[in-house]
Chains A and B, each alone.
Chain A
Amino acid sequence: MSGDHIGAIRPRPGDLSALRIDEALVRKMLVSFLRNETSKFGLKRVVLGLSGGVDSATVAALAVEAFGPASVTALFTPYRTSSDASRRDAEATAARFGLRLEVVEISAQVDAYFAANGGDVADRVRVGNKMARERKSIEYDRSWPDGLVLGTSNKTELLLGYGTQFGDMACALNPVGDLYKTQLRELAAHLGVPDAVLRKPPTADLWSGQTDEGELGFTYAEADLILYHLVDRRLRVDELIAAGFDERLVRRIREMMRRSHFKRVMPLIAKVSLRTVGHDFLYPRDWESD
């Protein structure tokens, strides 16, 4: 009987053992997910953005295993401020998994939009959001007519709301959205993601010098452990604090989850009729025909 770990909840700051996964098992589940959720609609091709980071590299590895490299369209979509390191890492990832990396520059259209609309690009978050949505609109364009766009947001980003709604968060299928960053890195190493990608500090590369952990003010390891116990194991904030977790950090992460919840659900529809999309017209997404 190997199930002794089930039910044993021992929240300890710094003890990441709770986040351990069986990489081979998760790999099998995710490859099977990708194959199943495309083939049942007669689709065999996917599109994803390769940013040079570990999340999209992991999704690329899973997609290549599921469909073969010829059926995976990998896009690198740099803006003029994007770092050379991102491009090198995206190229290394593509080479590692046998993908041809297509480069689509987005500077001209992003700059043209802001130039035509007041020219004010002082707010880097606004520019970053525009870049993220521009990239996604290109991925969706490239998915027509027979492909699906794969998402690369991990569970940590989704729960913290650390992403752009309808930008990097948008997709048809997301194989890694239920893996915390710490778990995703473990899977990435198992899948053979290049070392340089595994080791570099996570960044959205929306502006020069940006890093996720610098912007968030805490590490993924800290956030993942807190989120795992709050979400997966349903512990309360006060229980984590009593177990020795930093009170300010636990409360802050809980609040980030609450404030970003709108990003994780479908848009609200005002109900006026007897049967309404999203409220009581409830068909499965995988609604198949005879």
Chain B
Amino acid sequence: MKVAIAQCAPALGALKRNTALHLDWIARARAAGAALVVFPELSLTGYYLKDLAADLACAPGDALLAPLAEASRDIDVSAGFVERAADARLHIAQGYWSRGALRHVHRKVYLPTYGIFDDGRYFAQGERFEVFESATGPAGIAICEDVWHMSTPYLYASAGATVLIAASASPGRGVAEGGDLGTAESCHLMNRFYAQYLTLAVIYANRVGHEDGIAFWGGSEVVAPDGTVLARAPQFDETLLVAEVDPAQTVRERVRNPLLRDERPDLVLAHLARRVGLPVPS
């Protein structure tokens, strides 16, 4: 089965233009034979929105998102938008469209508000990690900073996910001391680590382009459940990355490497319950 990543450069604040751009990338992914195409974080709006967040927010059922539903009749699509919840809170959201409808929405839980990030000023936190059925099997979605919290992929894996869809808008930084970009090294390390030690596939979609002087570094990749990098896009260039994934590999890998089978979520839960002063489950 083929999965695609649209490593694109959305325009900041141009929802309709970005929607048209999505339809182009979806068509290319479809032509490449992909069953799923994943877009980066906030792919429909751009990332550093600031006050634009409220201007561009829409409900999941908004007509503005209808073209994506329509485009998902014969290929699954995951893309990012600003969700205006029923209670008027704004969320960084990643939708999953399949068979002509929006099937799942993940709201970014961890909102970085430090350094070059200010998510917490403009957005409300998501509060759930839900596994849903994707073209590639049971999946969980993590949006950028969600991936950096190791509890996110852990919770998904323990709830049965075999695929982690990670949508990112990761700014490239840290060029000193001679090496590769600091952020690129960290992300590739995380993706391989989570894949191998949680025995799940990681589909990491990062964007490119610049916003207000900040470069998004790309480097999208698909990592197999044994930690093998199946495909990796170049840094900084727009790329449609297509990788062949084998859902049966997860089955084989989990027999060979039964870490998840032997995991003790009851012990983890008991430790955490004591730590935060909740009743210890018996």
Task: Identify the A interface with B (CB < 8 A).
Answer: 1-3, 5-6, 8, 17-22, 25-26, 28-29, 32-33, 36-37, 40, 173, 183, 228, 232, 281-290
Contact = CB atoms under 8 A, between A and B. Distances in A.
Contacts of A22: 175, 178-180
A26 B211 CA distance: 17
B137 interface: no
7 contacts: A5-B177, A8-B177, A28-B235, A36-B9, A40-B11, A286-B212, A287-B52
B12 A26 contact: no
A283 B55 CA distance: 11
Interface string B194-220: 000000000000000111110100000
Interface stretch (B43-51, B146-154, B156-164): B43-51
Contacts of B180: 2-3, 22, 25
A142 B11 CA distance: 28
Given A6-B185, A284-B48, A288-B13, A232 B215 contact: no
Given A22-B175, A32-B236, A290-B17, A284 B215 contact: no
Nearest to A21: B175
B252 interface: no
B222 interface: no
Given A20-B177, A282-B50, 10 more contacts: A2-B179, A2-B185, A5-B179, A6-B174, A21-B176, A21-B178, A28-B236, A29-B175, A283-B51, A287-B12
B50 A33 contact: no
B155 to A, nearest CB: 26
Please name the 9 residue pairs, one residue from A and one from B, whose CB atoms are nearest each other, closest first.
Answer: A3-B185, A20-B178, A36-B210, A290-B16, A5-B177, A282-B50, A288-B11, A288-B14, A290-B14
B181 interface: yes
Q: Which of A17, A19, A288 has the most CB of B within 10 A?
A: A288
Contacts of B181: 25
Given A17-B177, A21-B176, A1 B189 contact: yes
Nearest to A183: B176
Interface residues of B, number: 35
A32 B189 CA distance: 25
Nearest to A177: B213
Given A20-B176, A228-B176, A288 B209 contact: no
A18 B213 contact: no
Nearest to A10: B177
B213 A17 contact: no
B172 interface: yes
A202 B141 CA distance: 52
Contacts of A5: 177-179
Contacts of A282: 50-51
B210 A37 contact: yes
Interface in B250-271: none
B14 A289 contact: yes
Contacts of B223: none
A54 to B, nearest CB: 18
Given A1-B189, A3-B189, A289-B14, A284 B212 contact: yes
Given A21-B178, A22-B179, A29 B215 contact: yes
B179 A29 contact: no
B15 interface: yes
Contact of A3 (B46, B179, B212, B215): B179
